[in-house]
Amino acid sequence: LRGLASARQALKDEMRTESDPDKLLLLDRQQRVMKENMNSWYGVLGSGRTEKTRNRPFRLADPEIGSDITETARLHNDWNKNYINKRTLYFSDTGVYPQKDYIPASHGCMELRFTTLYQDTDSCKVAIANHDEVEKAIRPFTEDDVKDMADILCRELNVSFDDFVKETLNVDKNEFFNIKPDAYYARYFQWGVKKRYAYRDFNGKHGYRGVELRRSSTPNVVKTVQQALFDCILDGGESVEVGALIREHYDIMKDPEKTPQIDFGQPFGVKKKGTFAHKAAMWSNENIGTEFDLGDKPMIFFAKSAPAPLPNNRRIAIEWGDSPDDYDIVIDRDMSIEKMFTDSNSFAAILGALGTTWNRCVTGVGTTTLDSWFS
């Protein structure tokens, strides 16, 4: 496991400096293989305990090993969180300091307090709890300031891990646990408890994790609206601006002159018989001359009218890259918007974190500020 972890980290380090998209994709696939192999080993340690593995357990498996790994990771998370939330640093116009005594007497300073936003076994997101108060009193933070804070906290935490392993594992010296700064965000937005978030770095670049706009199976209209929504939030837009943005894109999607029908298509694999994708593909084979089979990945649409009677759920399939216009099919824009936005769990979670909903945005009802979400 240690060998795999080291090999994966080397690949991730190489990804940070690689600019060739093809090489970057290859490196990402390689590090994912390493991660999945590590997860497989972890699963083997506890095999025989689940319904799937009960009749074929790994002969050397000890379920207590898997349980201990999970418990140790949980305790490590708690240790980090408690330390960070209690630790204070000091900030003056000359920078960040671990102790107040280090700051020249002629310079004013303020305490920096921290809060843990999110934590799992391989990451810990931390924010400056009194960010606005300190910036107003001293000066705006720079990326170097934030890096200094992260370096100090990580250095102190790594020193503290000798105490952690002694308390939790009865080991005198830590030889395994080590943390380091990984990323610095000027603005950060997360909704829900899963690893889904958007951020803006100190160069103004936006990034996303666990969101639909990064998936090839997402309709273009969803990608467009989600991209615009995150850009608005990360660039400092208030809730009123978010509502106006949603209304604008709603009107654009309703207008055939501004949003072509093809943008409502969702790539979806026909993996087995009886699924909605398979039924849509079979309807299209019978009525508009397509030749889909299991294993194909057509574009699925909600249709309003077609040359033949539509199925009850109105889902039809056409070839990837073709337009519904090529088959004399008219897309049901209202139903598409309802399924992709109004009833979307993803948009409900994102907008819910801002205190609003898709319908409230479309009708012009909403809150006025997002300040509570950002430090």
**Length of the chain measured in residues:** 375
Percentage of the chain exceeding pLDDT 90: 72
Q: Taking all residues of the chain, what is their mean pLDDT, rounded to a whole number?
A: 90
- Calpha distance 342→357 (Å, rounded): 8
Say which CATH superfamily domain 1-49 falls into.
B family DNA polymerase, finger domain (1.10.287.690)
Q: Check if CATH label 1.10.10 holds for domain 189-259+344-373.
A: no
pLDDT 10s digits, 50-107: 666 667 666 666 667 777 888 999 999 999 999 999 999 999 999 999 999 888 777 8
Task: Determine the pLDDT at residue 214.
Answer: 82
CA distances from residue 270 to 214, 247, 274, 317, 333 in whole angstroms, order as listed: 21, 34, 10, 10, 23
Nearest to 322 by CA among 305, 306, 299: 299
Q: Where are the alpha helices (DSSP H) in 186-275?
A: 220-234, 239-254
Task: Determine the pLDDT at residue 122.
Answer: 80
Give me the mean pLDDT over the 178-187 stretch.
Answer: 94
Q: Are 106 and 112 in contact (CB under 8 A)?
A: no
The residues near 52 (Cβ < 8 Å, ≥ 6 apart) are: none
Task: Determine the pLDDT at residue 37.
Answer: 83
Least confidently predicted of 153-157, 271-275, 310-314, 364-368 = 364-368
Give me the residue spans of the domains in the chain: 1-49, 62-184, 189-259+344-373, 261-338
Least confidently predicted of 88-92, 236-240, 256-260, 299-303 = 236-240
Task: Determine the pLDDT at residue 43.
Answer: 65
Task: Determine the pLDDT at residue 108.
Answer: 82
How large is the angle between the packed helices 63-86 and 21-45, nearest 10 degrees?
120
Global pTM reads 0.75
Least confidently predicted of 95-99, 145-149, 187-191, 370-374 = 370-374
| Residue 353 reports pLDDT greater than 80 | yes
In this structure, what are the phi and psi dihedrals at residue 224, rounded to the nearest 5 degrees? Answer: -65, -50
Q: Are 332 and 303 in contact (CB under 8 A)?
A: yes
Given pLDDT bands bounded at 50, 70 and 90, which one contains residue 371? low
Task: Determine the pLDDT at residue 338.
Answer: 97
Q: When comparing pLDDT for 303 and 49, which is higher?
A: 303
| Residue 375 reports pLDDT greater than 50 | no
Task: Determine the pLDDT at residue 146.
Answer: 97
| Residue 373 reports pLDDT greater than 80 | no
- Calpha distance 272→270 (Å, rounded): 6
